[in-house]
Copies of this chain bind each other. A is one copy, B any other.
Amino acid sequence: MKTVLVTLPVEERHKPKLEAAGPDCEFIYVGLNGATTELVQQADIILGCVPAGMIQASPRLGLLQLYSAGTDPYIVPGVLHENTVLTNATGAYDKAVGEHAFALVLTLQKKLHRYRDAQNAHRWTDFGQVCSLSDCTVVVVGLGNIGLHFARLCKALGATVIGVKRRPGPCPEGVDELCLTDELDSVLPRADVLASFLPGTGATKAMYTSERFAAMKNTAVFINCGRGNAVKTEVLIDALQSGQIAAAGIDVCETEPLPENSPLWEQENLLITPHVSGNFHLPDILEKIVDLSAANLRAYLAGEPLRNVVDFETGYKR
């Protein structure tokens, strides 16, 4: 009998769905933060995330179905046994993260973060000119499900959308123009908005360099809803303070939680949200992940192909 450790924040109504997918399994529900090294070591299957350090390349672990789209802590050599299948939750966060990034863009373009500060100071002050997304060119770096959803929202408001992806392919709906990651530098000067949805991999680390910010318009808005290490804290601060770009909105930081004494907090033209764009903050996220977990559990037990299998080399879905 296989043991299934569940750290998904399921409600009672979800359990029959999971248990029907593994009728001969024993299910242990521990909630988001209830995993222990002992429980992880006894698990044949884990549905949800656990601290990577608890896994210790357990040879017993056959399937780790994450509730995150990001896989970075788990693809580090030595974390998972070579026989463990790793699947992520790609597809569950499109709407949540896409809309959050879109809201960051509009907030910054309409200067609502600064009007909030003025409100808190009881000041009736006019911050002048704004721009319209309908007049903007939006560069979307990372055209997975989340980036595509964001692209479609921008397109719906009338923006021109340039998508940036690793591999050539057909231009998806909602994207006006496609460019390869290698050609990113060629489109930076055109971006009124640059929004990044990249996972944390060796190739994406610190990719937004000072030179790249310098190549952007000084009116541009930078958004990061991918991984925080795509831009070094001091590079971002310098880009904002020196006026290389006009504003930035980030849901992710190099160090999370952001330390209380980080100078990032103090940047007026930076809007920070504490890695909340995904989580389980839209009700349909949990539903999608429970459905995916049940389907992958069933497929795994039946020896059939799984969805969202992660390539350890790239960190992306295979």
Q: A residues engaging B (CB < 8 A)?
A: 95-96, 99-100, 102-104, 106-107, 109-110, 112-113, 115-120, 122-134, 153, 156-157, 256-258, 260-262, 265, 271-274, 276, 279, 281-284
Q: Is the CB of A132 within 8 A of B99?
A: yes
Question: Quick check: B282 and A115 within 8 Å, CB to CB?
Answer: no
**Residue among A107, A110, A271, A284 facing the most chain B CB atoms (10 A cut-off):** A110
Residue among A102, A112, A134, A284 having the largest count of chain B Cβ atoms under 10 Å: A112
Chain B residues within an 8 Å CB radius of A106: 99, 102-103, 106-107
CA distance A106 to B99 in the complex (A): 9
Given contacts A106-B107, A129-B283, A279-B126, contact A116 B116 (CB under 8 A): yes
* A113 partner residues in chain B, CB cutoff 8 A: 112, 116
Beta-carbon contact of A130 and B281 below 8 Å: yes
Provide the residues of chain B in CB contact with A283, threshold 8 Å: 129
Q: Out of B104, B109, B118, B157, name the residue touching A153 (CB < 8 Å).
A: B157
* Residue from B118, B119, B276 within 8 A of A127 (CB atoms): B276
Contact between B112 and A107, CB atoms less than 8 A apart = yes
Shortest A293–chain B CB gap in Å is: 21
- Cβ contact within 8 Å between A274 and B124: yes
Task: Count the copies.
Answer: 2
Bound-state Cα–Cα, A284 to B127, Å = 18
Whose C-beta in chain B lies nearest to the C-beta of A127?
Answer: B276
* CB-based contact B109/A103 at 8 Å: yes
Cα-based distance from A74 to B172 in the complex (angstroms) = 52
Q: How far is the CB of A264 from chain B (nearest CB, A)?
A: 9
Tell me the complex Cα distance, A118–B122, Å.
Answer: 18
Contact check, A124 vs B257: say whether CB atoms are below 8 A apart. Answer: yes
Cross-chain contact B115 with A117 (CB below 8 angstroms): no
Q: How far is the CB of A55 from chain B (nearest CB, A)?
A: 25
- Quick one: given A106-B106, A112-B112, are A282 and B130 in contact (CB under 8 Å)? yes
Determine if A112 and B103 form an interchain contact, defined as CB atoms under 8 angstroms apart: yes
- Chain B residue nearest in CB terms to A106: B103
A191 to chain B, nearest CB (A): 19
* Beyond A95-B134, A99-B106, A129-B283, 20 additional pairs, beta carbon < 8 A: A96-B130, A99-B110, A102-B106, A103-B110, A104-B112, A106-B106, A107-B107, A112-B113, A115-B272, A116-B116, A119-B265, A122-B260, A122-B262, A123-B260, A124-B257, A125-B274, A128-B281, A129-B282, A130-B281, A130-B282
* Cβ contact within 8 Å between B99 and A133: yes
Partner of A132, one of B96, B118, B128, B262: B96
Alpha-carbon distance A257/B110, docked complex (angstroms): 19
- Out of B102, B115, B122, B133, which one reaches A271, CB within 8 Å? B115
Cα–Cα distance between A122 and B263 once the two chains are bound (Å) = 10
